[in-house]
A and B are shown apart, each in its own frame.
Chain A
Amino acid sequence: MKKRSALFHINRKNVLLILGLTLSALILLITIFSPLLETHNPTKMNLPNKLKAPSSENYFGTDALGRDVYSRILEGSRVSLGTAFVVVIFSAILGTAIGLFSGFIGGRTDMVCMRIVDIFLAFPTIVFVLAMTTFLPTNQLSLILAICCINWVRYARIARGEAVIIRNVEYIEAATAIGNSKTGILFRYFLPNTVSKILIMMSMDIGSIILYCASLSFLGLGTQPPSPAWGTMINEGRDYIRNAPWISIAPGIAVAVTALSFNMIGDGLRDALDPRMRESIQTE
């Protein structure tokens, strides 16, 4: 019996994870090396060359100002993915900290925290972010801030739910009995038992944050032209959708593929991080 890491042992159950990881890794690599892959300057206008269909010169055609769509998508990936990662990491840290603490302490603290979370949950994300950005200057940072402000509650909810379950399991009592301190239990027992859920949530969230960012920049918030965010590009292509559909379709596909691949990681992780899975893999 050869022992292999469960995550990378391909079987029917984690094919989603492998596929998601491969795609996402590819997307990340493309994002990191985008300056090398760009064939044109993404912000340089070339009016005589406008609205060209995809060709060997312009892989995804050109837009109304003659800019190369392919290069702009590559450039936009840095904005979109960067935003998504920052938002997800910050809201996960904030939400997990508040949720775990709330569930761990319990009682009145828990009640107050969770009612605050409920208030935030009552707002539709888009509406909340729209409202927030009204008060903030229109730039990428405000967008990140606004999404973080509402997105953390989802993590808080999950972390708190997990903490409440864990609090009543016997191994916490056993941990107290062998001499662990309260903070020790919080970090060594509560956190590791919650992390898998949070990780799953994070990878699913990256997909939806990319979509949110795209929707918001489509609505004219966040990234400002000429900086090429995917959502902004879709918006710009709207006027030419009949005679030059590639301007919108190409960034649309980029958003869809990216969101899908991170969602696949999320689904795959959910199965793979369950310690009960390891058994079946090792006994093969």
Chain B
Amino acid sequence: MEPVLRIDDLCVGFHVRDRVVNIINHVSLHIGENEVLGLIGETGCGKSVTGSAVLRLLPDNAVVAGQIDYRGKALLPMSEHEFNRLRGAKIVSVPQSPSTSLNPMMTVGMQVEECLTRRPDYSKKAQQVPVRERVQQIFERLRLNERGKIFRKYPCELSGGMCQRVLISMGAITNADLIVVDEPTKAVDWILRAGVVDVLRKMKEDYRCAMMMITHDIGVARALSNRIAVMYAGEIVETGTAGQVLDHPQHPYTADLISALPENGFHVTEGFMPSFEEMPAACRYQDRCAHCVEACRSGKPEMHETEPGHFVYCHRCRGE
């Protein structure tokens, strides 16, 4: 079956002064119908850049190569005008940091309404249900009702969790079928985190949409994702179903990431992610990996399928 989103060999670099620094290195991913793909990895590994590349929201100095297909249509060669018909309607984003992603001078209701009324193909007559009604419905569904008062509130009058839900409602209201959710639990506390997870799960069930969920919260990724892709230093190191990746990690980085969780004893791996300007040529995890062998320093690891659907980029997995 045709996946909703297929990323093939995506490379993203940024012009910095007179050179190009490569951030995303040959990333390939796919997201199927009504599937949630969790993209996990540490800060600065290129998760959000991948998401922005899909939405074409990268800054002007970015250089993008490779292929991104949405239901068989290539997104990168599209004109800005053509892409604008998809973005915001079929492909939407739920941005990170709820406190700064809402316009402080506009009521939240107006902003959610804008998701519908600012479309190039919007016409007032074609709406079966008035836009305001639809906004109220979605607020109701995300338990943001407070007797219809939320509509007139400014972002500063709402808590971080409520702003987060407003952002989610902006993603949900257009009945999109691909949603890029960037760090949904970044700015919320432990209790709200559960709320956000509930909301996202509900959204997935109610709207039958596919989601790319960018997070460094492994707990959230486990709770929501069907499949998980682990990124390190701009590369995918392991993909598979949530169970495969999190319960039987094959790549040393995934294993280290999981053992660094507080509930697993906070075993933080030594060292730092190498700088993107001086990336080792072969395996990018070689300097921090406890299982590093000669092959890791000489050749790029290839993809190995350890069990059906579970792919690992590591030399150690070869021929096991």
Near B by CB (< 8 A), chain A positions 52-73 give none
Residues of the B chain whose Cβ atoms lie less than 8 Å from the Cβ of A36: none
Residues in chain A within 8 A of chain B (CB atoms): 169-171, 173-181, 184, 188-189, 192-193, 196, 275-276, 278-279, 282
Q: How far is the CB of B1 from chain A (nearest CB, A)?
A: 27
Given contacts A170-B100, A177-B95, A275-B154, 10 further A-B contacts (CB under 8 A): A170-B97, A171-B100, A173-B57, A177-B57, A178-B92, A179-B88, A179-B118, A184-B118, A193-B103, A193-B105
Q: Which residues of A contact B104 (CB under 8 A)?
A: 171, 193, 275
- Minimum CB distance partner of B104 in chain A: A275
Q: Report how far A170 CA is from B96 CA in the complex, Å.
A: 8
The A interface, classified by DSSP as helix, strand, loop or mixed, is helix
Is A276 a contact of B114 with CB atoms below 8 Å?
A: no
CA distance A148 to B113 in the complex (A): 40
Q: Is the CB of A178 within 8 A of B115?
A: yes
In the assembled complex, which residues on chain B have CB atoms less than 8 Å from the CB atom of A276?
156
Asked if residues B103 and A179 are in contact (CB atoms below 8 Å), the reply is no
Enumerate 28 A-B pairs (CB-CB under 8 Å) in ascending A order: A169-B100, A170-B101, A171-B102, A173-B95, A174-B102, A174-B167, A175-B103, A175-B114, A177-B57, A177-B87, A177-B92, A177-B95, A178-B88, A178-B114, A179-B87, A179-B115, A180-B118, A181-B84, A188-B106, A189-B103, A192-B106, A193-B104, A193-B105, A196-B105, A276-B156, A278-B156, A278-B157, A279-B156
B15 at the interface (CB under 8 A from A): no
C-alpha spacing A275/B153, complex, angstroms: 11
Cβ of B8 to closest chain A Cβ, rounded Å: 23
Q: Counting CB contacts under 8 A, is B89 at the interface?
A: yes
- Which of B55, B120, B154 sits near A177, CB closer than 8 Å? B55
Closest A residue to B182 by CB, please name it: A170
Contact between B93 and A177, CB atoms less than 8 A apart:
yes
Q: Is residue B132 within 8 Å, beta carbon to beta carbon, of the partner chain?
A: no
Asked if B49 lies at the interface with its beta carbon under 8 angstroms from chain A, I say: no
Going nearest first, the 4 A-B pairs with the smallest beta carbon separation are: A179-B88, A170-B101, A192-B105, A178-B88
Across-interface contacts of A184 in B (CB, < 8 A) = 118
Partner of B119, one of A170, A175, A177, A179: A179
Given B105, B120, B156, B157, which contacts A179 in the complex, CB threshold below 8 Å?
A: B120
Q: Is the CB of A178 within 8 A of B84?
A: no
Q: How far is the CB of B56 from chain A (nearest CB, A)?
A: 9
B214 at the interface (CB under 8 A from A): no
Determine which of B95, B100, B114 lies in contact with A180 in the assembled complex, contact meaning CB atoms within 8 Å: B114
